[in-house]
Amino acid sequence: MSISNIILTIIAILLVGYIIYSTIKKKKEAPVEEEINVDDKTYTIELMTQFIKRRLDEITKINLYDIGLSEEELKRRKNKKYELKKALKGCTYGDVNDKKYVKELIYDLLEQEYGVNEMNISKAIPFDIPSLLTAQDKFDILIYMYKEEYGYEALTELIKKYNLATLKYVDGETKPSYVITEDEINEIYETENVTLSFQAKLNVVVQRIYQHYKGYSSIDEVRDMNIDGISGGVSGLPESFLSQVAQVSGDYLEQVAEHKVPRACDSIWIFFQGKSIRLAFLSFGTEAELKRVCQNIYKYNNPGQLSDTNGYKINEMKDGSRVVVVRPSFSETWAFFVRKFDVQRSTLEQWFKGEPGSDESIELLKYLVKGARITSITGEQGCGKTTMLMGMIENIYETMNIRVQETAFELHLRRIYPTRNILTFRETDTISGQEGLDVQKKTDGSVNIIGEVATDPVAAWMIQAAQVASKFTLFTHHAKTFPNLVTALRNSMLRIGQFNNEKTAEEQVVQVLNFDIHLTKDFKGKRYVERVTECIPVEDKNLYTFDHRKEKTLEGKFDRFFDNATHYFTKTTDKQLYIYRNILEYVDGEYVITNPITDENLREMRLNMDETDAENFDNFIERHWGNKDRARIGHAPKRKRRTKTEAKEN
């Protein structure tokens, strides 16, 4: 072989090697993309969701060191990859910013890589043919439109505009209920006369893909709205019941199969302004989708695994919402409860909403806080206890340090008052509430707040905190009446073994409890303060006498002895430890201030107020109870300077 042939052979080998190297490098730089076969099925939600899952998985798993990037480009791509991983994780915890980031990326992938355009987008959702749109399609479009204008008040505005939160009869029911039906959504969609741009259509499609990929299915957008809460899996027929139904009625089973009878996965309820409203037009579709939502919605901050042996979890989401998740066999089906607290509206003025007598009522509640009174807020679930507590905290003097003990973080006071000295503790698997309270005693706290007294140990913490741990205490409880509140706290003290005697335990309760604010939610969902009650401990007067010594006859001595014996048995068997009376009542739609506060509480309240508040409090007392002397209780009397003559006489 000649030298020229050898040279040509080497050049050919080098050329082939360079081509192979270039091809491999290009394949590494650009992640492998499967060829998309374009037909009518290509642009369905299911196929686009699969594409998004695959592409995001490729982007997050690609090895950036193998594709020969410059140092600057490598750093940029690493930051982008890390940001995407963080967003994909954070969006499942309820972080709206991470959700927005992921949706923007999905939007770009669909438009730039998948080829979604004005012509084919209607194959995913038939935007141009309203008769083919499902109720969920129409609802998603309506929420998108209203969200563009009203932000997270979109659902509230939609409900108010069309008066959806009213009692109505549905499907031949004999009793009215709060429900939003498919027919109502269809009517609203027609009334709105919707016209969408391509960008708006694509955003609706992106949301649909996102909610089945990383979101919370059909409730994803609803959960973000400024409502009181949302729950799922709490009505309808669970799968476990199907076999039982089959034995009873074949026709009924057929109705279930045709979705004429609601299933557990069709159960979506919102809590809106004190009303539980069923969204009959929304569904998770399958039991598996409801299960997926339940398994993901509680995961923020790694609270532990939800398992058959540990059938419930109580946690908070990243936006501060409280979430409770239950599962079989602890519950009959998978279910979740998300409770939201609108911290921006947690003021007493917002709570009373300008009803007759509300100004004086607000002033009274402010003086209870400024006067450092130990106060309970009672009422049923959903009546606004936590919101009321947040509003009252606003009136605590800035100089007082606040310490909070909760089962799960709910109050989030530092969001409302970022400059205040506030620290919140909660129970963990390794730290009990009692240990948390012991730590609080060493953290220079002035005010102790207990989010909810719902168990016996928490009731004991409350009594302890009120006695020794702080200047005063605020807490919430589910008692229906004031005697029920005292009895419940007393029984809690007995059950945990702190006391063996009922009277002694009850005496401890009434000694620390000053006032109770009872909230009520009526049948229509209206929430109001039913009463403010003062607890008045009965003084234990010593009624025993030694009059028997003065008696001359044995019969007289026996009479005096039996008098003392009667007092003794009265104290030990039927001793009255407290009385209570209402300071404020809600009567015929108006707040009325009734009985006066006792002198002892007035005196203590004035001693805890600054001069300006004390003077205003005096005016408040005189205005409502018309007694100037009572308004001056707590004032140190001015000493009159004595003359020399008076001094000598003394």
For residue 72, is it within any domain? no
- On whether both 6 and 26 belong to a single domain, the answer is yes
Is 43 within the bounds of a domain?
Answer: no
* Tokens standing for residue 545: 């006498």
Averaged pLDDT of the chain: 82
List pLDDT tens digits, range 284-323. Answer: 988 999 999 999 999 988 888 888 888 999 888 888 888 9
pLDDT class of 441 with cuts at 50, 70, 90: confident
57 vs 517: CA distance, rounded Å:
54
Query: What is the model's pLDDT at position 247?
Result: 53
Helical spans, DSSP H, in 91-197: 96-108, 135-150, 154-161, 182-192
Measured CA to CA, the distance from residue 325 to residue 338 in angstroms comes to 9
- Residues 6 or more apart whose Cβ sits within 8 Å of residue 313: 298, 303, 304, 306, 323, 324, 325
Q: How far apart are CA 596 and CA 583, in angstroms?
A: 6
Distance between CA atoms of residues 408 and 406, nearest Å: 5
Work out the angle between the directed axes of helices 198-213 and 96-108 (0-180°, nearest 10).
120
Q: Count structural domains, the chain.
A: 5
Domain membership flag for residue 1:
yes
* Same domain flag for 161 and 220: yes
Q: What does the buried/exposed string (b/e) look like for 535-565 if buried means 16 or more CB atoms within 10 Å of the residue's CB?
A: bbbeeeeeeeeeeeeeeeeeeeeeebeeeee
**pLDDT at residue 570 greater than cutoff 80:** no
Q: pTM of whole model > 0.75?
A: no
114 assigned to some structural domain = no
What is the pLDDT, as a whole number, of residue 643? 40
61, part of any domain: no
Lowest mean pLDDT among 266-270, 471-475, 640-644: 640-644
In this structure, the answer to whether residues 423 and 551 fall within a common structural domain is: no
pLDDT band at 269 (very low <50, low <70, confident <90, very high): very high
Structure-model confidence comparison of residues 157 and 551, the more confident one: 157
- Residues paired with 425 in a beta bridge: 405
Tokens of 496: 């945990």
Cα separation, 277 vs 273, whole angstroms: 10
Note whether 496 and 562 are same-domain residues: no
- Mean pLDDT for 622-642 is 56
User: What pLDDT, on a 0 to 100 scale, did the predictor assign at position 249?
Assistant: 52
Same domain, 516 and 549: no
**Residues 322 and 349 placed together within one structural domain of the fold:** no
pLDDT in tens, 78-136: 888 888 888 888 888 888 899 999 999 999 999 998 888 888 898 899 998 888 999 99
Please answer whether residues 134 and 140 qualify as being in contact, where contact means their C-beta atoms are separated by less than 8 angstroms.
no
Residues 509, 569 within the same domain: no
Between 647 and 265, residue with greater pLDDT: 265
Within a domain: 77? no
Tell me, yes or no, whether 113 lies in a domain.
no
Highest mean pLDDT of the ranges 260-264, 465-469, 524-528, 580-584: 580-584
Domain region containing 23: 1-30
Is 298 found in the same domain as 152?
Answer: yes
Instruction: Give me the CATH number covering residue 371.
Output: 3.40.50.300
- CA of residue 598 relative to chain centroid, distance: 36
Q: How far apart are CA 72 and CA 70, in angstroms?
A: 6
Q: What was the pLDDT predicted at 336?
A: 95
**Least confident window among 8-17, 247-256, 319-328, 524-533:** 247-256
| CATH code, 238 | 3.30.450.90
Residues 545 and 587 in one domain: no
- Cβ within 8 Å of residue 108, ≥6 positions away: none
Q: Residue 199 pLDDT > 90, yes or no?
A: yes
Maximum CA extent, the chain? 154
Interatomic CA distance for residues 179 and 391, integer angstroms = 31
Query: What is the model's pLDDT at position 417?
Result: 84
Residue 231 is assigned to a structural domain of this protein: yes
Is residue 562 domain-shared with residue 619, that is, in the same domain? no
Q: Is the pLDDT of residue 246 over 70?
A: no
Q: Which residues contact 210 (CB under 8 A, 6 or more apart)?
A: 99, 102, 103, 106, 220
| Boundary (domain end) residue, out of 340, 374, 399 | 340
Domain co-membership, 136 together with 272:
yes
Last residue of a domain, which of 340, 358, 390? 340
Q: Are 324 and 390 in the same domain?
A: no
